């Protein structure tokens, strides 16, 4: 079932059960001021995506409806498609090695898989996330693929570029994560790397450390894609990095 169909079923249910206004998908231009900066929600999102706004914890309350409409409407998908198109152009010009060690790193949440059904249910602001409800969602293995990322994955596989999934998900979700990936079309991979249970290191240190290990093992990281800046910052980044949009949360 595609992302659009899954979201439609979620939104139909919530619209008929008096859910928050964001689920009604009313046109929202981004007006409404951020409570600290006083700028529009659209400008706040721009600052987030350019990594000028750092260390924030949740979407500002005045911007929750705007972010919900951005994510569920066509704008988010269009922005993701632009990133994917650039990745495809880059892939088309790659000169690959003959040792079979060329790899592309994919983040999972909001990169390979979309958790929009979860957020459509829980909202996009301060009340949206808690470990218990999100882990329960992960263990259902029902997250749809982000279509643009799946398209890129299939192209890479056709060229013989191996894929490594590198996620901040914990090791105890391995079975559910692998099941989810395969169910939506990511049928094979070189490695699925998850955090050790109890690892509390910063995401940027954890992921850059994994990439260092991969390079030491002889892999050539030809590409790296994620929704968080912490997915792609920190040496070695890879030959080329791609940042997908995600104004729902920030991981450092």
Per residue in 91-117, pLDDT (tens digit) is: 999 999 999 999 999 999 999 999 999
Q: Write down the pLDDT at residue 89.
A: 98
Assess if residue 165 is contained within a domain. Answer: yes
Helix and strand totals (H; E) in the chain: 10, 5
- What is the reported pLDDT for 11? 45
Confidence band (pLDDT; 50, 70, 90) for 16? very low
CA–CA distance, 81 with 30 (Å, rounded to integer)? 21
Q: What is the pLDDT of residues 20-78, one digit of tens each?
A: 333 343 334 454 555 555 569 999 999 999 999 999 988 988 899 999 999 998 999 99
Least confidently predicted of 50-64, 97-111, 138-152, 219-233: 50-64
Q: Is residue 175 part of a domain?
A: yes
In a domain, 252, yes or no: no
Residue 204 inside a domain? The answer is yes
pLDDT over 90 at 207, yes or no = yes
- Rounded Cα–Cα distance for residues 19 and 112 (Å): 28
The whole-model pTM stands at 0.86
The CATH number given to whatever domain includes residue 49 is 3.40.50.1000
Domain limits for position 172: 3-243
- Would 10 be classed as within a structural domain? yes
Question: In sequence order, which ranges of the chain are alpha helices (DSSP H)?
Answer: 3-15, 41-49, 64-72, 74-92, 116-122, 131-139, 147-158, 174-184, 203-216, 229-232
**Residues 159-202 pLDDT 10s:** 999 999 999 999 999 999 999 999 999 999 999 999 999 898 99
Residue 251 lies in a domain: no
Total structural domains within the chain: 1
Establish if 248 belongs to a structural domain. no
- In this structure, is residue 13 part of a structural domain? yes
């Amino acid at each position: 079932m595609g992302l659009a169909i899954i979201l439609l079923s979620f939104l139909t249910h919530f619209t008929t059960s008096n859910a928050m206004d964001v689920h009604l998908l009313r046109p929202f231009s981004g007006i409404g001021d951020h409570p600290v900066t006083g700028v529009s929600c659209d400008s706040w999102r721009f600052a987030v995506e350019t990594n000028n706004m750092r260390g924030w914890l949740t979407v500002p309350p005045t911007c929750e409806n705007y972010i919900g409409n951005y994510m569920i409407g066509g704008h988010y998908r269009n922005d993701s498609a632009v990133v994917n198109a650039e990745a495809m152009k880059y892939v088309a010009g790659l000169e690959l090695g003959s040792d079979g060690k060329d790899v592309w790193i994919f983040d999972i949440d909001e990169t390979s898989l979309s958790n929009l059904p979860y957020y459509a249910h829980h909202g996009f602001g301060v009340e949206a996330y808690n470990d218990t409800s999100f882990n329960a969602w992960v263990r259902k293995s029902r997250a749809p693929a982000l279509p643009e990322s799946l398209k890129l994955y299939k192209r890479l596989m056709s060229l013989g570029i191996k894929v490594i999934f590198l996620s901040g998900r914990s090791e105890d979700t391995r079975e559910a994560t692998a099941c989810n990936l395969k169910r939506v079309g990511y049928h094979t991979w070189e490695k699925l790397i998850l955090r050790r249970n109890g690892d509390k290191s910063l995401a940027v240190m954890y992921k850059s450390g994994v990439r260092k290990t991969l390079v030491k093992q002889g892999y050539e990281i030809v590409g790296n894609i994620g929704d968080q800046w912490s997915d792609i910052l920190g040496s070695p980044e890879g030959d080329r990095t791609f940042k997908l949009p995600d104004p729902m949360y920030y991981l450092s």
